[in-house]
Structure 1
């Protein structure tokens, strides 16, 4: 998986809850919407999952929502070491329940990560969790931010060189904020 893309997997999960016309929308509210999200992020695994281990069960969807809450709690507590420690304990406990083993193999001068465990649905949960761990390992905590637009609740990882990004997406939130500021000056 592309390094920058792997850092966005967990934020994409967190951002399945967002505001639209002032109302909160939850893309994990129903199995159909969750399947759409999974299809976008795990197209290579989805056909196998349908027959593999009941990935689309309500129980599994509950675990995906629980992981989203953990990722959101990490993102929202990165500036509070005491709260972050509590969240990390909860995350570690959640990870222990995955019962997976991950290891690296070398094949023809390339390294590959191999994940073994209960089933592919567990592997999806692990990949998302791993993307958060990789973000925490490669970026300073202050680079994890919530969008500064007044009507947005999304999170992002600021991977810019200067570290001054303020919006989840410049094309939408950033542009709306700049237009509003321009109109206020007139």
Structure 2
């Protein structure tokens, strides 16, 4: 299995420290080429489960077979808004597109008691429509835009990487999406460059 095959088979990385930024990272650069990890409805649903938006993967009814199109639209809206917010802007037209997802999202709290040690409040959507499925993702995007310190919302400094992250490190000096993915590669390249210059 090649590096590219391994990267694709692992699925999108959950390394952004915020689910709205992990949403953006479902599109990535692999070996210098853009790659969309969302190819099917199942890809979207698996990502939603891994990200904590779904307890279990539902069987989609026939009227939701185009879930991937709406999920990609939400991702594009989120990317546009995050980029605008990072630039110090917030345009009402883009916000209204996100608000359209939020308007249709309705949920209610349910107390979950799996055992004495695990009692928690879980929010359940009122129905299994696309709006309900994607509503929690839209809410995460809205919370990021409204509540995050955007000085700490960053893109990886690797020239070939397009991943975003929320810098929650103590010193707020995180530069890479991941040390394993981009950080080590850049450190090795810098080391080789220094050694070549002194040779």
TM-score range, shorter chain: 0.7 to 0.9
Q: Structure 1 residues 90 and 121 mapped into 2: Cα distance closer, same or farther (>3 Å)? A: closer
Match for residue 45 of structure 1 among 41, 56, 71 = 56
The total of aligned residue pairs comes to 178
Aligned partners of 1:70, 1:145: CA distance in 2, in Å?
18
* Mapped pair 1:150 → 2:156: no
Structure-2 residue corresponding to 1:126: 135
Q: Deviations over 1:109-152 (max 9, x none)?
A: x7624333331654331221222233345431121111110110
Aligned partners of 1:163, 1:123: CA distance in 2, in Å?
35
In structure 1, stretches of 5+ residues that fail to align are none
Aligned partners of 2:30, 2:167: CA distance in 1, in Å?
23
Aligned partners of 1:63, 1:99: CA distance in 2, in Å?
14
Q: 3-state DSSP class of the match of 1:132? A: helix
Q: Structure 1 residues 28 and 56 mapped into 2: Cα distance closer, same or farther (>3 Å)? A: farther
Structure 1 range deviating more: 124-133 or 98-107: 98-107
Aligned partners of 1:77, 1:91: CA distance in 2, in Å?
13
Q: Which has the higher helix share?
A: 1
Q: 3-state DSSP class of the match of 2:124? A: strand
Aligned partners of 1:180, 1:144: CA distance in 2, in Å?
25
Q: How far did residue 176 of structure 1 move? A: 1.2
In structure 2, stretches of 5+ residues that fail to align are 1-14
* Mapped pair 1:22 → 2:32: yes
Give the TM-score normalised by the residue count of structure 1. Answer: 0.76
